[in-house]
Copies of this chain bind each other. A is one copy, B any other.
Amino acid sequence: MDELDTEIVRLLQTDARQSNRELARRLGIAPSTCLERVRTLTRRGVIRGYHADINPADLNRGVQALVSVQIRPLSRTVINTVKDDVSGMPEVISVFVVAGGDDLVLHVGVPDLDRLHAFLLDRLSKRKEIVGFRTSVIFQHVHNTALSRLET
């Protein structure tokens, strides 16, 4: 990861669909060099994939929330089971396994508040390992789509 690699990933974070030629032009290097760099970054696992950013409203996820979940008993297997279970639910956008007062934090997206209520009561409450949760409805979500590499 030299400075050229850092710049490549920054540009690809901003626009993943720009052509290799365009990318090379912006970096001031030959397209073949650029292509080789990108392939190496992909092979090393630095670049994990390329994803379209879709407006949540158009996926019927106009209502989103963060749900902090408490789990008991607190064992590795129980946490993993619950995590795998909830991460497979269609309403769940992402799952954080955390330390602190909570054990999991779920980012969920649904069409309306009724569906949020139904998700909490019919899906989460059904699991005996989930002994409590707290829901924070999301008004806004701003995402940094061009993360810089921090100095160590």
Binding site for B on A (CB under 8 A): 1, 9, 12-17, 45-55, 58-61, 65-66, 83, 87, 90-102, 105, 109-112, 115, 134-145, 147-152
User: Do the beta carbons of B139 and A99 come within 8 Å of each other?
Assistant: yes
User: Do the beta carbons of B110 and A150 come within 8 Å of each other?
Assistant: yes
Residues in B whose Cβ lies below 8 Å from that of A51? 12-16, 50-51, 53, 145
User: Do the beta carbons of A141 and B96 come within 8 Å of each other?
Assistant: yes
Number of copies: 2
**In the complex, what residue of chain B is closest to A6 when comparing beta carbons?**
B59
With beta carbons under 8 angstroms apart, the residue of B54, B100, B137, B149 that contacts A9 is B54
User: Do the beta carbons of A49 and B139 come within 8 Å of each other?
Assistant: no
Q: How far is the CA of A149 from the CA of B12 in the complex (A)?
A: 26
**In the complex, what residue of chain B is closest to A135 when comparing beta carbons?**
B100
Residues in B whose Cβ lies below 8 Å from that of A100? 134-137
> How far is the CB of A8 from the nearest CB of chain B, in Å?
9
User: Do the beta carbons of A150 and B50 come within 8 Å of each other?
Assistant: no
Residues in B whose Cβ lies below 8 Å from that of A16? 16-17, 50-52
User: Do the beta carbons of A50 and B47 come within 8 Å of each other?
Assistant: no
Q: Give me 17 other A-B pairs in contact (C-beta within 8 A), A13-B52, A46-B54 excluded.
A: A9-B54, A16-B17, A16-B52, A59-B150, A60-B149, A60-B150, A65-B98, A66-B98, A83-B142, A95-B140, A96-B138, A97-B139, A99-B136, A99-B139, A100-B136, A101-B134, A101-B136
